[in-house]
Amino acid sequence: MNDMQNELPDTECWELLASQELGRLGYHLLDEVHVVPINYVALPDQERLVFRTTEGSKLLGIVMHGDVAFEIDQVGERQAWSVVARGRAVQLDGDDARQAMDLPIHPWVADDRYVLVAIKVTEVTGRRYDLLRPRT
Amino acid sequence: MNDMQNELPDTECWELLASQELGRLGYHLLDEVHVVPINYVALPDQERLVFRTTEGSKLLGIVMHGDVAFEIDQVGERQAWSVVARGRAVQLDGDDARQAMDLPIHPWVADDRYVLVAIKVTEVTGRRYDLLRPRT
């Protein structure tokens, strides 16, 4: 442990997750690890993160191996923080999908045919760092 | 494909990798995927990314399964871009490690005992997106 990095309580991790709309999803695909940026919405009450994706390799990877990691971070002048959520990704359907359709998810690309995916978060960890030097 | 997302040539991906100092590393650990923020230096001529890490789970994961993905991104008012490098991570030692010690890597945490790791990049992909709405 290092006294310059402070672990964040779960409630603060969820507040930070709810404050952002872009994160990075790590997932398995055919024994490879992949990382992609995604726009998402956090639902702290349900301990879920929701995003949408077009049919393709990202979704395929998640369906084949639902274990995922999701990361957000921010660097300021003197401090930085990062939050990592771990969990399992599931494709939403039925009522779950209909409810999630109204969430303010802002994907980078217009996707006419998309599916909604929820990450059921099982573990969240966050750290705040006092930077070793002021950022320029 | 979507005409609003444009693939970037490899040279531009490397220019972007060289322009940043913070990215996110995705790696395997015991059949789980992990994502962590890391400070790094890009060496386009060698097609390598170099970072340092203290002994711990991150390094352990890389040694056990060297397949990694590394992501950077930036969101502007009307455009966003992301670059993903895939490759294999190797711990540097000997002359390689001594040469890499002078690289301007700025880790968030002071680490007295660290090792230098190079990602030998085998594939780099980048995309630029015209955002669907101006960011506020």
pLDDT per residue over A18-73, tens digit each? Answer: 999 999 999 988 778 999 999 999 999 999 999 988 776 566 677 767 899 999 99
Whole-angstrom Cα distance, residue A41 to residue A33? 23
- Using a CB–CB cutoff of 8 Å, tell me whether A10 touches chain B: no
Angle value at C-alpha A29, between B81 and A81, nearest 5 degrees: 50
Instruction: Decide if A113 is inside a domain.
Output: yes
Query: Quick one: tokens of A79?
Result: 């401090």
Q: Are B122 and B88 in contact (CB under 8 A)?
A: yes
pTM of the predicted model, to two decimals?
0.87
- Using a CB–CB cutoff of 8 Å, tell me whether A71 touches chain B: yes
Which of A8, A35, A131 best probes binding to B when mutated, by most B CB atoms within 10 angstroms? A35
Interface confidence: ipTM more than 0.90? no
Give B32's strand partners: B29
CA B111 from chain centre, in angstroms, equals 19
Whole-angstrom Cα distance, residue A33 to residue B33? 7
Instruction: Decide if B19 is inside a domain.
Output: yes
Q: What confidence score (pLDDT) does residue B58 get?
A: 64
Instruction: Decide if A136 is inside a domain.
Output: no
Instruction: Decide if A96 is inside a domain.
Output: yes
> Looking at chain B, which residue has its C-alpha nearest residue A126?
B36
Whole-angstrom Cα distance, residue B118 to residue B43? 10
How many distinct structural domains can be found in chain B? 1
> Looking at chain B, which residue has its C-alpha nearest residue A128?
B108
Per-residue pLDDT at B11 exceeds 70: yes
Domain of residue B31, residue span:
5-130
Instruction: Decide if A14 is inside a domain.
Output: yes
Instruction: Decide if B109 is inside a domain.
Output: yes
Whole-angstrom Cα distance, residue A72 to residue A84? 7
- Using a CB–CB cutoff of 8 Å, tell me whether B86 touches chain A: yes
Q: What confidence score (pLDDT) does residue A2 get?
A: 44
pLDDT per residue over A87-110, tens digit each? Answer: 999 888 888 888 888 888 877 777
Residue A71's CATH number: 2.30.110.10
